[in-house]
Amino acid sequence: VTIGNSVTSIGYSAFYDCSGLTSVDIPNSVTNIGENAFSGCSGLTSVTIPNSVTSIGPGAFSGCSGLTSVTIPNSVTSIGDGAFYDCSGLTSVTIPNSVTIIGGSAFSDCSSLTTIEVDSGNPKYDSRDNCNAIIETNTNTLISGCMNTVIPNSVTSIGSHAFSGCSGLTSVTIPNSVTSIGNYAFYGCSGLTSVTIPNSVTNIGSSA
């Protein structure tokens, strides 16, 4: 599919469940990719998001199981709830400096994710100590992890859905800086065989 360069926004569920869609050319005129725009496009193997896009809507690429890589340009400021939820083929994600909003479960159920990195100049999020995770800097909350995440000693909270659906995760050591584990934090981690929860943890959320 080639989208004409007069288009400025890709709307709600525009290509929803188009499983036969294998490639899409998004022009530089587009500034917004709407909610569920490409959700369920399981045949989509790669997508280039142009550096005109400022917003990736909720569920925009959810269920794109054939997607192995995605480059989020430095123009994007917002990634919506579940934007890349259940992208089971996605192996790596880099969050650029421009992103200041990452919605809940943005990368949940991405079971093949091995690398998550935040650019070092990002004012809101970081991947300190090469931890392979997204941490909200001001609150020291780990909001998104993967099978290779090492939770840093400075993290005080593991956010809701942080590791949900991470079936490749086999063990996790939670440092004694952590006081809270959020709802669904390790939900669906079917490969998890050992977990160490320190005395510092005072709250464990539902379905954690």
* Bridge partner residues of 55 (DSSP): 32, 78
pLDDT, tens digit, for every residue of 14-36? 999 999 999 999 999 999 999 99
Mean pLDDT of 7-17: 97
**Token pair listed for 32:** 């917004």
Task: Express each pLDDT in 188-200 by its tens digit.
Answer: 999 999 999 999 9
Residue-wise pLDDT tens digits, 53-72:
999 999 999 999 999 988 99
For the chain, the C-alpha Rg in angstroms (whole number) is 17
User: How many beta carbons lie within 10 A of that of residue 68, not counting itself?
Assistant: 14
pTM for this entry: 0.96
pLDDT of residue 46: 86
Contact (CB, 8 A) for 74 and 50: no
Residue pLDDT, tens place only, 62-98? 999 999 988 999 999 999 999 999 999 999 999 999 9
Closest CA to 116 of 95, 132, 99: 132
pLDDT at 1 over 90: no
The CA distance from 99 to 107, in Å, is 14
- In the chain, pLDDT over 90 holds for what percent of residues? 97
At residue 2, the pLDDT reads 86
Residue 126: Cβ-neighbour burial (10 angstroms; 0-12, 13-18, 19+): buried
pLDDT at 12: 97
36-46 per-position pLDDT tens digit:
999 999 999 98
